[in-house]
Each structure stands twice: as structure tokens, then as C-alpha cells.
């Protein structure tokens, strides 16, 4: 029988890697940088139970809102790198904030290890049902013919809805006025009430209003149609190219988390998100399940960071 010999240090490394996950605490926390009830929180809570089944131990959701996501980010970055603490975040805190703020108390690349993309949340252009436009192209054309700019709400300066407005104006030469709100809820309320004319938002926050007839969907800021709203055309299909806004949600771990632990987490997330029950639940809410490899998430983060940094720089957008 042939016996393979390893140097002592190599054997020690192998044993440490193989046992890293086994030694991890038996509870995993998914930290959310927003209060309970928001879209990121709802996705985290939908994922927690099936992910726990895949990992073989309890997964709980912990809300740590405040400081534009910095409190949650710092807490996860300083946590033990053993798979017991994960951060679920939307694209803003990791790909937009670094360009929007001069100083951040965390570094999205150096302080975290990508685990997996969770869902895609493309932006949907909606208007009041009384608006005569029946498409994004018609909405843009009408704005060009008016002397006064068409008002468009956002959930705040530098938010994904704001950046979608900037992309639309740049791509179509639409005559738009940005009206920032403190959050998506009051912005949506004012679109439904007729105080402001249009809004870009994540589908999960809008799909109920669209299906109830309280908002009219004009187009998707995406490269493809959404399975929850198959009849709604993309802006590109309507002749408006270059408006591609995906407010994706993803899981990150502390930077020093061993590769073996990351791989175990990634495989568990993939199995959970591809299970029919969770997939159907997320799609019904408007979120599009999209598990990825850690490397794919790192590439997406780099691409989006560069894209949004250019737009923020060119439009001279400053956080308030």
C-alpha cells in the first residue's frame, strides 16, 4: 500500500481548513443594515430558514440599521471569520457609497469576502395611472415637448432610483427634475397621489401597487424582462439604451473567513435559492433569485463600482 507523506506544516494547514467549518458556532447571523419590514430584510428572512436547513444549524436575522449601512458593515467586518456572521446588503453600501462619500468606516473590498449573490432587483419605471403615457418611450417623448421638466421622485440623493433617473436623462435627453425623498415609501405615496410624476423603484416595493392598479408600469431598467412582470418591456426594447440599474442583494462574510467556509456557505446558499419553494416565494415578491460563485460576485462588485463611480463623478452627485 502506497502511503503519501506530507510535511508537518502542510498537514497542519489541511487539517485546519477541513475543520474550520466544523468548529464554527452552531448559529449563523445574517445582519441587515435596515429596519425590519424592508425589502432587504424580507429577502433575508425568506432565506434564513431554508439556508439553516442546508447548513444544518439555525440561521437568524439581525437588524442593525443606521449610518447608511456603516453600523452593520463595521459589525460584520469585526466579527469572527468563522461563518457565524454574514452581511446581506444591497448594491448601495458596497458599490455606490464608496463613490458617494469621501470617507467610509469600511472598505467593501478589503474588509469582506464575497459569498454569493442572492437576488437581482432591477428598477421599474412607474407613473400614476392617470398619466397618458403607456410606455417609457412615450413618457420621455412627452417630457421633451414640455417647457417645465417632468418631476421624478427618488428615495434619496445617490440612491439607486436617483441614479436610474440620471441614466434615463443621459440616455434619452429627457427633460427631468429630480425630487429626492427620505425613503421609497413617501416617494411612492406621492406618485400615487399625483404630487410627482414618475419613480424608479425595486420591483418588490412596487409590484403590489402595480397589480392593484395604483401605479402603471412603463418599463424596466434592465437588460431582460422580469419573470414577475413578463408583459413589461425593457427600456432597451423601447429604443432607450444604456439604462441598466440592478439593485442586487448579496451576502458577504468577514475578509479573513477561510476559503473552505466560504465554499460551504456558497453551496448552501445555492441549494436554498434553487429550491422550488424559496424560488417561487421570492419571484412572487418581485425579487429574482440569482445565486452566484464568490468570484462572480466579486466581478459584479468591481464592474458596478466602476459604473456608478463614473456616473456620480460626471453628474457631480454629492451625499447630503
3-state secondary structure 158-209: CCHHHHHHHHHHHHHCCCEEEEECCCHHHHHHHHHHCCCCEEEEEHHHHHHH
The conformation of residue 313, written as its DSSP 8-state character, comes to H
For residues 147 and 282, state if they share a domain: no
For residues 46 and 128, state if they share a domain: no
Residue pair 248/117 in contact (Cβ under 8 Å)? The answer is yes
Residue pair 112/254 in contact (Cβ under 8 Å)? The answer is yes
State the pLDDT confidence band at 319, using cuts at 50, 70 and 90: confident
Percent helix, percent strand, percent coil in the chain, to nearest 5: 45, 20, 35
CA-CA distance, 103 to 109, in Å (whole number)? 15
- Residue 287 sits in a domain of what CATH number? 3.40.190.150
Q: Taking Cα atoms as reference points, which of 202, 220, 39 lies closest to residue 121?
A: 202
Number of domains in the chain: 2
Mean pLDDT of 279-286: 94
CA angle 127, 38, 109 (to 5 degrees): 105
Domain extent, residue 202, equals: 123-238
**Domain-embedded: residue 20:** no
Residue 116 has pLDDT above 70, yes or no: yes
**More confident position, 16 or 213:** 213
CA distances for 196 relative to 124, 152, 181, 208, angstroms: 16, 6, 11, 19
State the pLDDT confidence band at 320, using cuts at 50, 70 and 90: confident
pLDDT of 18 reads 44
Last residue of a domain, one of 218, 238, 258: 238
Residue pair 91/274 in contact (Cβ under 8 Å)? The answer is no
For residues 97 and 152, state if they share a domain: no
Kind and range of the H or E run holding 277: helix 276-285
For residues 128 and 96, state if they share a domain: no
Q: Which of 13-22, 167-176, 276-285 has the lowest mean pLDDT?
A: 13-22
Residue pair 106/93 in contact (Cβ under 8 Å)? The answer is no
For residues 203 and 258, state if they share a domain: no
Instruction: Give per-residue pLDDT as tens, 118-173.
Output: 999 999 999 999 999 999 999 999 999 999 999 999 999 999 999 999 999 999 99
- Residue 199 sits in a domain of what CATH number? 3.40.190.10
State the pLDDT confidence band at 106, using cuts at 50, 70 and 90: very high
CA-CA distance, 317 to 166, in Å (whole number)? 10
Instruction: Give per-residue pLDDT as tens, 214-239.
Output: 999 999 999 999 999 999 999 999 99
For residues 162 and 261, state if they share a domain: no
Q: Which of 13-27, 76-90, 105-119, 205-219 has the lowest mean pLDDT?
A: 13-27
**Domain-embedded: residue 307:** yes
State the pLDDT confidence band at 12, using cuts at 50, 70 and 90: very low
For residues 253 and 234, state if they share a domain: no
CA-CA distance, 238 to 221, in Å (whole number)? 11
Mean pLDDT of 188-203: 96
Mean pLDDT of 294-308: 98
For residues 83 and 54, state if they share a domain: yes
CA-CA distance, 279 to 119, in Å (whole number)? 10
CA-CA distance, 84 to 137, in Å (whole number)? 48
For residues 129 and 112, state if they share a domain: no
CA angle 189, 33, 59 (to 5 degrees): 115
For residues 256 and 112, state if they share a domain: yes
Amino acid at each position: 500500500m502506497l502511503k503519501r507523506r506530507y510535511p508537518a506544516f502542510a498537514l497542519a494547514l489541511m487539517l485546519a481548513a477541513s475543520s474550520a467549518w466544523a468548529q464554527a458556532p452552531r448559529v449563523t447571523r445574517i445582519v441587515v443594515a435596515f429596519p425590519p419590514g424592508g425589502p432587504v430584510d424580507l429577502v433575508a428572512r425568506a432565506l434564513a430558514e431554508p439556508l439553516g436547513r442546508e447548513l444544518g444549524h439555525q440561521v437568524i436575522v439581525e437588524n442593525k440599521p443606521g449610518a447608511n449601512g456603516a453600523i452593520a458593515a463595521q459589525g460584520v467586518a469585526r466579527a469572527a471569520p468563522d461563518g457565524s456572521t454574514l452581511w446581506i446588503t444591497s448594491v448601495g453600501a458596497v458599490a455606490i457609497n464608496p463613490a458617494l462619500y469621501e470617507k467610509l468606516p469600511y472598505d467593501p473590498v478589503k474588509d469582506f469576502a464575497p459569498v454569493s449573490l442572492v437576488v437581482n432587483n432591477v428598477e421599474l419605471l412607474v407613473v400614476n395611472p392617470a398619466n397618458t403615457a403607456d410606455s417609457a418611450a412615450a413618457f420621455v417623448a412627452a417630457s421633451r415637448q414640455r417647457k417645465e421638466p417632468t418631476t421624478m421622485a427618488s428615495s434619496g440623493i445617490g440612491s439607486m432610483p436617483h441614479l436610474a433617473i440620471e441614466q434615463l436623462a443621459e440616455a434619452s435627453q429627457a427633460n427631468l427634475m429630480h425630487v429626492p425623498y427620505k425613503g421609497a415609501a413617501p416617494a411612492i405615496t406621492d406618485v400615487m397621489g399625483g404630487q410627482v410624476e414618475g419613480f424608479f423603484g425595486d420591483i418588490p416595493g412596487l409590484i403590489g401597487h402595480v397589480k392593484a392598479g395604483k401605479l402603471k408600469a412603463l418599463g424596466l431598467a434592465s437588460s431582460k424582462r422580469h419573470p414577475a412582470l413578463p408583459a413589461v418591456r425593457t427600456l432597451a426594447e423601447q429604443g432607450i439604451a444604456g439604462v441598466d440599474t440592478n439593485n442586487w442583494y448579496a451576502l458577504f462574510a468577514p475578509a479573513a473567513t477561510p476559503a473552505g467556509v466560504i465554499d460551504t456557505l456558497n453551496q448552501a446558499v445555492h441549494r436554498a435559492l434553487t429550491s422550488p419553494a424559496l424560488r417561487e416565494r421570492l419571484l412572487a415578491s418581485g425579487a429574482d433569485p440569482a445565486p452566484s460563485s464568490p468570484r462572480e460576485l466579486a466581478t459584479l462588485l468591481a464592474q458596478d463600482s466602476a459604473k456608478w463611480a463614473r456616473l456620480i463623478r460626471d453628474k457631480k452627485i454629492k451625499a447630503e
